[in-house]
């Protein structure tokens, strides 16, 4: 503990308008937005650094990698504008990253980073599907863009969570045709949506992977397709539904947010853990700290996960039992796992130029392949052929590795949370790494020999590193469910003055900042309605 | 208050611990199912039973309530969360009535909490509600055990209840504090209780001793009293009965069927200034909003009950009579009517006779149970 913190032990501080718990991307976004609205804001973070899982971390000698999310595709555009993130040092080393759906036999399918122009890159390789994709993206891409605001806000149905009511609210935002499409898209399985639209198994497989990514729904499961719309609702570096790589990895994005927060005069305190949220007369009154101190403020925003926020910081003795049951759901038995590999040389992908290594690669040659992977993972086995997404960050950004090394960063989804024989996580990691290298070897001959060092990151590792509940890295419930639930969590009516922008509030996952901006907006609105100081 | 049985209750209700004793005392052989337990409507003469309860004392079978023993280091905190009572403030022997509310601030059940020892409580509710107890216990170091089936429960109510109990050897020294007594080898927990407006005592003991206790009390002239007489008395006080006047939020088929404490005259049981309880935030919000429905005490002319009859105002139906009974004291039918809260300030209404097909309407007048009591005193 630093001398400054020693000094603060047991102190009760007042004079703040808002306390934000957790300096994640969402927490930083919320703090900055509040400060820009004239709130005297303090941001507390248990760790020594800001950013939470958005961090660039060394994992092998001379090699760094974005520890969790490795690409930006849903960064909230209103947030970027509101806090002027580019001025605070956000730079992309690569924007409009093309997506390459790999095949172990045939030529890959390449989608331009700007999906609206994908027809050119798809080319004659997929025949009629190039035109079909253009039409498909025209419909669903437009619908997704219309919905981007709703994806940040969440849906709230007044009585319970009736889907019909929630959808009716959306009706005013989209056209009549769009609404009919949306109703279909909400309930459709990925397979049902993609099968009639395209011929190419590879294209369908790749799109199915993107739709299933992060979720617990297999391609044949109902409600799965909506996730693809969520992915297409985002934008990065000004291009709709595109991917971009921040210069310096995800940690650099967190740094830009930190600078924005500092310039807005947010009081950022690291190494300061929250012990509980103070409640007085059913309203938030501040935060009690682990070091015995208190920070008092009428607005509290939590960027920690829902279980930590509600069950630990508030506790069951002041939480409605129905809310508690809703928050403490048992997570899916599927997880997302991440593989980081340090390579001696870039992988040799046949039928692709060296320039193509700048892409985002997806290994999922068909819907059946993905279905098979889900089947294995569901029953606690590591699929022999993994479905994965990988990038080679060192191609975009040479600063991430020294001495000519190359880094590969891959998401493996789906993966089992536990092995069927209850073996320990080391065994799961070993098996995942084995299968990941074997899978990559099939697509890039000679890959195995180039691996210098490698690691697998599991939810437990993230939970330990960033002080959050491991369940948020479990595969997510269908998007519709997240959508409805997020509205309830964000609205902040569980406790007056407490707003929530934790990972559960980020619909569809990813690095967004939208939930933080939204929480700050709600807090500002509440403060305005209560007093005249603003 | 004794709840009313739902119409889809168990077709063949279970006998309470006191059923054999009650059946042998019954001349009328009129029974009802209350939460699946057989309870006597009357033992023969409703007027005599009413007199006993209002002037001297009567014996009531309380076997229809669910009883749970709750113990553990967090028992008080658990009960404060589950119910609206301030359980932690009770000293051993003390009891207090309360409600269970859901997260939307609607009434789930009426309960009473009694502290037996430092970390052991007796929770009495109208049904076991296992799901809600399970949800509520998450995060608390607490255990609970349903003792309904093994315990016998009788109540002695009325102005002379204490005297009768003392004569029978069950007297308690303190009028507000329960005691444990051993009478002729039988362990009995005697604690102050109330059936709506009627004060009295409840006796809880091992179920197999019921006949002995029943005989000990009735042989001293105590009259068994059925639900009809109890109903008349509680309507005089305007006390609602779960299942008849409103349904609990967990049993409501439609969302709007459930009621907030303020809509069923139970606002006093959900004190917002005391300890936190489940749904308090919502109850607080509801307290600030206008009521949607109101439960109105009515005096209806005539002698026939009008249960289920429509209530008219301004020539249209604005509600329904939820329960009614003839009151010997007022010499008319008293009713509680569930009506649109917009009409709660009106004095005069008309009630349609539920079974007559003549379309005849009966005049009804709102009355205030509290002021009627003062007039009589």
A321: nearest CA in chain B? Answer: B136
Going by pLDDT thresholds of 50, 70 and 90, the confidence category of residue A167 is: low
Q: What is the DSSP string of A296-358?
A: E-SEEEE-S-HIIIIIIII-GGGS-HHHHHHHSPPPPSEEEEEEEEEESS----TTS-GGGGG
Q: Residue A112 CA to chain centroid, in angstroms?
A: 22
What does the pLDDT look like over A30-44, one tens digit per residue?
999 999 999 999 999
For residue B256, the distance in angstroms to the closest alpha carbon of chain A comes to 10
Most B CBs within 10 A among A159, A276, A320, hence the mutation to make, goes to A320
Going by pLDDT thresholds of 50, 70 and 90, the confidence category of residue A354 is: confident
Least confident of A113-122, A206-215, A357-366, A491-500: A491-500
What does the pLDDT look like over B56-72, one tens digit per residue?
999 999 999 999 999 99
Range B344-358 average pLDDT? 81
Residues B304 and B283 sit within 8 Å (Cβ to Cβ): no
CB-nearest partner of B255 from A159, A282, A324: A159
Which residues fall within 8 angstroms of residue B245, CB to CB, at 6 or more apart?
B264, B295, B322, B323, B336, B338
Q: Which residues of B touch A282 (CB under 8 A)?
A: 276, 280-281, 284
Most A CBs within 10 A among B79, B109, B135, B292, hence the mutation to make, goes to B135
Q: Which residues of B touch A496 (CB under 8 A)?
A: 281
Least confident of A317-331, A427-441, B86-100: A317-331
Range B119-124 average pLDDT? 94
For residue B87, the distance in angstroms to the closest alpha carbon of chain A comes to 13
Asked if the Cβ–Cβ distance from A494 to B140 is below 8 Å, we say no
Interface pTM, i.e. ipTM = 0.79
Tell me what pLDDT residue A318 has: 85
Least confident of A71-80, A127-136, B2-11: B2-11
Q: Which residues of A touch B135 (CB under 8 A)?
A: 321-322, 324-325
Going by pLDDT thresholds of 50, 70 and 90, the confidence category of residue A489 is: confident
Determine the Cα–Cα distance for residues A121 and A113; give it in Å rounded to an integer.
10
Q: Reply yes or no on whether the pLDDT at B370 is more than 90.
A: no
What does the pLDDT look like over B236-277, one tens digit per residue?
999 999 988 999 998 888 888 899 999 999 999 999 888 889
Range A268-296 average pLDDT? 91
Range A96-110 average pLDDT? 89
Tell me what pLDDT residue B46 has: 92
Tell me what pLDDT residue B371 has: 72
Q: Which residues of A touch B140 (CB under 8 A)?
A: 316-317
Q: Is B367 helix (H, G, I), strand (E, B) or coil?
A: coil
Range B165-177 average pLDDT? 88
Tell me what pLDDT residue A532 has: 56
- Residue A135's CB is within 10 A of a number of other CB atoms, namely 11
Q: Reply yes or no on whether the pLDDT at A6 is more than 60.
A: no
Asked if the Cβ–Cβ distance from A282 to B138 is below 8 Å, we say no
Going by pLDDT thresholds of 50, 70 and 90, the confidence category of residue A194 is: very high
- Residue B44's CB is within 10 A of a number of other CB atoms, namely 16
Which residues in chain A (135-164) have CB-CB distances under 8 A to chain B? 159-160
Range A452-472 average pLDDT? 91
Range B116-145 average pLDDT? 91
Q: What is the DSSP string of A460-482?
A: HHHHHHHTS-GGGGBPBPPHHHH
Q: Average model confidence (pLDDT) for chain A?
A: 87
What does the pLDDT look like over B193-212, one tens digit per residue?
988 888 999 999 999 999 99
Which residues fall within 8 angstroms of residue B137, CB to CB, at 6 or more apart?
B78, B144
Tell me what pLDDT residue A1 has: 40
């Amino acid at each position: 503990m630093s001398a400054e913190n020693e000094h603060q032990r047991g102190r009760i501080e007042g004079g703040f308008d808002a306390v934000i718990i957790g300096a994640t991307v969402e927490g930083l976004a919320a703090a900055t937005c509040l400060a820009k609205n004239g709130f005297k804001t303090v941001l507390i973070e248990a760790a020594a650094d800001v950013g939470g899982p958005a961090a660039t971390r060394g994992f092998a000698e001379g090699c760094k990698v974005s520890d969790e999310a490795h690409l930006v595709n849903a960064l909230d555009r209103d947030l970027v504008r509101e806090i002027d993130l580019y001025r605070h040092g956000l730079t992309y080393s690569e924007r409009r990253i093309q997506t390459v759906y790999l095949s172990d036999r045939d030529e890959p399918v390449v989608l331009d980073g700007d999906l609206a122009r994908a027809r050119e890159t798809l080319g004659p390789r997929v025949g009629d599907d190039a035109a079909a994709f253009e039409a498909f993206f025209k419909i669903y891409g437009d619908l997704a863009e219309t919905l981007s605001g709703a994806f940040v806000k969440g849906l709230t149905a007044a009585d319970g969570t009736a889907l019909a009511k929630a959808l009716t609210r959306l009706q005013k935002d989209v056209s009549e045709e769009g609404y009919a499409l949306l109703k279909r898209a909400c309930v459709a399985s990925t397979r049902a949506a993609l099968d009639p639209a395209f011929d190419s198994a590879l294209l369908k497989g790749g799109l199915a992977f993107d739709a299933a990514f992060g979720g617990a729904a297999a391609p044949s499961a109902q409600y799965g397709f909506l996730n693809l719309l969520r992915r297409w609702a985002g934008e990065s570096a000004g291009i709709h539904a595109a991917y971009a790589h921040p210069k310096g990895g995800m940690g650099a994005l967190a740094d830009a947010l930190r600078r924005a927060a500092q310039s807005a005069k947010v009081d950022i305190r690291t190494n300061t853990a929250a012990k509980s949220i103070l409640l007085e007369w059913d309203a938030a009154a501040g935060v009690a700290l682990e070091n015995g101190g208190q920070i008092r403020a009428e607005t509290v925003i939590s960027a920690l996960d829902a279980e930590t926020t509600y069950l630990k910081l508030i506790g069951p003795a002041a939480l409605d039992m129905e809310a508690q049951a809703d928050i403490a759901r048992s997570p899916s038995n599927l997880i997302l796992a991440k593989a980081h590999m340090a390579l001696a040389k870039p992988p040799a992908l046949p039928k692709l130029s060296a320039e193509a290594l700048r892409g985002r690669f997806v290994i999922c040659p068909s819907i059946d392949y993905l279905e098979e992977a889900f089947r294995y993972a569901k029953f606690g086995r590591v699929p022999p052929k993994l479905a994965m997404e990988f990038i080679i960050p060192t191609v975009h950004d040479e600063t991430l590795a020294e001495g000519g090394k190359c880094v590969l960063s891959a998401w493996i989804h789906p993966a089992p949370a536990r092995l069927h024989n209850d073996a320990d996580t080391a065994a799961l990691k070993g098996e995942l790494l084995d299968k990941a290298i074997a899978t990559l070897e099939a697509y890039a001959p000679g890959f195995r020999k180039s691996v210098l060092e490698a690691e697998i990151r599991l939810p437990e590792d993230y939970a330990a590193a960033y002080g959050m509940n491991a369940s948020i890295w479990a595969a997510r419930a269908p998007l519709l469910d997240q959508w409805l639930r997020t509205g309830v969590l964000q609205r902040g009516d569980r406790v007056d003055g407490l707003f929530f922008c934790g990972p559960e509030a980020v619909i569809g996952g990813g690095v967004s900042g939208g939930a933080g901006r939204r929480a700050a907006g709600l807090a500002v609105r509440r403060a305005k309605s209560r007093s005249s100081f603003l | 208050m004794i709840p009313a049985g739902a119409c889809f209750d168990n077709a063949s209700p279970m006998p309470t611990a006191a059923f054999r004793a009650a059946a042998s005392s019954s001349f009328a052989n009129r029974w009802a199912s209350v939460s699946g337990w057989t309870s006597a409507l009357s033992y023969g003469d409703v007027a005599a039973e009413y007199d006993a309860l209002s002037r001297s004392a009567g014996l009531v079978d309380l076997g229809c309530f669910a009883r749970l023993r709750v113990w553990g280091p967090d028992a008080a905190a658990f009960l404060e969360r589950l119910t609206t009572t301030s359980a932690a403030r009770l000293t051993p022997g003390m009891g207090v009535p309360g409600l269970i509310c859901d997260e939307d601030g609607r009434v789930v059940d009426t309960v009473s909490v009694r502290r037996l020892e430092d970390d052991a409580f007796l929770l009495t509710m109208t049904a076991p509600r296992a799901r809600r107890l399970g949800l509520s216990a998450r995060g608390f170091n607490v255990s609970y055990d349903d003792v309904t089936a093994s315990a016998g429960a009788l109540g002695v109510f009325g102005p002379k209840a204490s005297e009768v109990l003392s004569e029978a050897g069950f007297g308690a020294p303190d009028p507000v504090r329960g005691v444990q007594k051993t009478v002729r080898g039988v362990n009995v927990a005697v604690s102050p209780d109330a059936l709506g407006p009627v004060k009295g005592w409840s006796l809880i003991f091992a179920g197999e001793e019921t006949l002995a206790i029943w005989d000990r009390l009735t042989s001293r002239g105590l009259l068994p009293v059925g639900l009809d007489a109890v109903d008349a008395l509680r309507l005089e006080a305007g006390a609602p009965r779960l299942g008849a006047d409103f349904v609990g939020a967990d049993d409501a088929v439609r969302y709007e069927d459930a009621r907030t404490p303020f809509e069923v005259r139970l606002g006093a049981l959900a004190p917002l200034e005391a300890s936190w309880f489940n749904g308090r935030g919502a109850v607080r919000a509801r307290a600030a909003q206008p009521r949607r429905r109101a439960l109105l005490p009515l005096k209806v002319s005539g002698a026939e009950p009008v249960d289920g009859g429509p209530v008219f105002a301004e020539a249209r139906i604005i509600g329904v009579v939820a329960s009614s009974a003839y009151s010997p004291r007022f010499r008319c039918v008293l009713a509680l009517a569930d009506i649109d809260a917009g009409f709660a300030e009106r004095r005069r209404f008309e009630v349609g006779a539920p079974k007559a097909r003549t379309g005849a309407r009966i005049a009804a007048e709102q009355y205030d149970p509290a002021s009627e009591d003062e007039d009589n005193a």
